[in-house]
């Protein structure tokens, strides 16, 4: 697999966000565009994607490289791709862009929520949405899973986010590259092991939704304790 062109100069990397007009997608787009990456917001509606890109660009006073386009074009033009679509559109979206993703890394943010019981974890036959993505895309695409448990309410703000990000992936390189993007988004990430562990990450979202509902919150998150949080080494 071709490794993403990650260096100390993030402008060398372009990130395509499929379903980027949703709240989570827009929040991640804002964070990465602010960090200096070129961001392509993808959508089934190119017009909607262009509108979202314009809004985010305004938040950054135009000092960013962010454009709106179709999901297929975002997957084709970007060096690294993130999918943030609802689970109901997950398979259809990935099958549409399967050819464009070959040789790239896909970061899957999708959670297999099945309304109306969103407070109960319901995993697909593959084990998780991320494992399903790997089955759909095949050996030519590395897959990582991340950002499931971060509230979109925080991402579009510049405040420090008191929530950690667990990252699983189909290879050490997939996890390593994803952890770099976690850090670029202003968050602390943890290597949570192989892609099979993504069922835990995705399932935690239902747990957090239940906690929000039970205790009157809107942005419950997770934090790892008992391990060094120093990322300078």
Q: Which residue segment(s) compose the domain that 191 sits in?
A: 10-215
Q: What is the pTM of this model?
A: 0.92
Candidate from 52-66, 122-136, 138-152 with smallest mean pLDDT: 52-66
Q: HSE on the CB side for 152, CA within 13 Å?
A: 12
* Domain annotation covers residue 123: yes
| Domain assignment of residue 2, yes or no | no
Does the structure show a pLDDT above 50 at 10? no
What are the CA-CA distances from residue 94 to residues 84, 110, 136, 166 (Å)?
11, 11, 7, 22
Q: Answer yes or no: is 22 within a domain.
A: yes
Output the six-digit token pair for 180: 């770099």
Q: How far is CA 20 from CA 30, 69, 86, 123, 141, in A?
A: 10, 10, 11, 23, 20
pLDDT for residue 152: 80
CATH code, domain with 206 = 3.40.50.720
Per-residue pLDDT tens for 35-60? Answer: 999 999 999 999 999 999 999 999 99
User: If pLDDT is split at 50, 70 and 90, which confidence band does 232 have?
Assistant: low
pLDDT above 50: residue 150? yes
| 3 state DSSP class of 168 | strand
Tens-place pLDDT, residues 17-29: 999 999 999 999 9
Tally of structural domains, the chain:
1
Mean residue pLDDT of the chain comes to 91
Q: Counting beta carbons within 10 angstroms of the beta carbon of residue 161, is it exposed (0 to 12), middle (13 to 18) or buried (19 or more)?
A: buried
Cα–Cα distance for residue pair 152/137, rounded to 1 Å: 27
């Amino acid at each position: 697999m071709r490794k993403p062109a990650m260096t100390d100069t993030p402008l060398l990397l372009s990130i395509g966000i499929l379903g980027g007009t949703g709240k989570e997608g827009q929040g991640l787009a804002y964070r990465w565009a602010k960090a200096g990456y070129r961001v392509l917001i993808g959508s089934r509606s190119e017009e909607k994607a262009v509108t979202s890109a314009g809004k985010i660009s305004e938040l950054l006073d135009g000092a960013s490289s962010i454009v709106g386009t179709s999901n297929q074009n975002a997957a084709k033009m970007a060096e690294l791709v993130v999918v943030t679509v609802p689970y109901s559109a997950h398979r259809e979206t990935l099958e549409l862009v399967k050819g464009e993703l070959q040789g790239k890394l896909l970061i899957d943010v999708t959670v297999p929520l099945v309304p109306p019981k969103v407070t109960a974890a319901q995993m697909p036959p593959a084990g998780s949405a991320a494992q399903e993505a790997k089955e759909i895309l095949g050996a030519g695409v590395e897959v990582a899973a991340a950002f499931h448990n971060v509230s979109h309410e925080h991402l579009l703000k510049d405040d420090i986010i008191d929530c950690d990000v667990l990252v699983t992936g189909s290879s050490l390189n997939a996890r390593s590259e994803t952890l770099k993007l976690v850090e670029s988004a202003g968050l602390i990430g943890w290597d949570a092991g192989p892609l099979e562990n993504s069922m835990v990450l995705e399932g935690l979202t239902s747990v957090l939704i239940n906690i929000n509902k039970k205790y009157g919150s809107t942005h419950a998150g997770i934090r790892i304790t008992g391990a060094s949080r120093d990322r300078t080494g």
